[in-house]
Amino acid sequence: MISVVIPAHNEAGELDKLLEEFSSFDGLELVVAEDASTDGTPEIVQEFASRNRNVILTRSSTLTGKGAAIKRGLAAATGDVLGFIDADRSIHPDDFMRVVDAINYGADLAIGSRKLPASVILQHQPLLRRILGSAYTVLAHALLQTPERDLQCGCKAFRRSLWDALTVNCDGFAFDTELVAKAHNKGFAIVEVPITWRNKADSKVKMRRDVLSMLRCLLSVRAEIRG
């Protein structure tokens, strides 16, 4: 069984389409980790679950962050292969399944990457966000010594044994980086898989609040890894 966690805060505009796209694949468990939505997101999931088996909804009445939502979803998941994908349809389920294929071929952690030669970017982020994203990646590489090119893409899959071996503390958007850095530090086999990606204008990242939080998480992870 493959469990796909979809963190969702106010994703009513795209979530129903994403769930329908995933429904064409057999052997998937869909875990929607709803995070204090006010736009009817939980009701969309409940309606979809009434027509489809293997759908789990976890809910939070308070906003806890992307990382915390993913962790709640992973705690509810039952699959041997686990993963998560952004709810905004910036990445198609076909690409997620290609990432899962890398697990089947021996990787412990597979990362959907926007930064490989074969990756396709249909719509770029605004210039300022690209600059800040590149600066974050450079800093993360320097602090954590992780060679992977795309730490923050919201499309990853991994073995349950890897997840069970790690303690990931970041509750916000730095969750992805901490997961990769700690997996790398413990010697797990990590591969990056090229994907097709499209920027979505309604990104949930708030520049001032979330960037500072992510930097604090990087420093915390560095201190933990360095011992």
Residues recognised as catalytic: 176
Distance CA 138, CA 80 (A): 33
Question: Could you tell me the sign of the dihedral formed by the alpha carbons of 149, 152, 153, 156, in that order?
Answer: positive
Distance CA 62, CA 194 (A): 35
Amino acid residing at 209: R
- Specify the long-range contacts of residues 94-101, CB closer than 8 Å, at least 24 apart: 95/155, 95/193, 95/195, 95/196, 95/197, 96/4, 96/155, 96/157, 97/25, 98/193, 98/195, 99/155, 99/156, 99/157, 99/193, 99/195, 100/2, 100/157, 101/193
Q: Which position has the token pair 């990445």?
A: 91
Q: Are 31 and 77 in contact (CB under 8 A)?
A: yes
* Backbone angles phi and psi of 5, in degrees to 5: -90, 130
CB count in 10 Å sphere of residue 36: 14
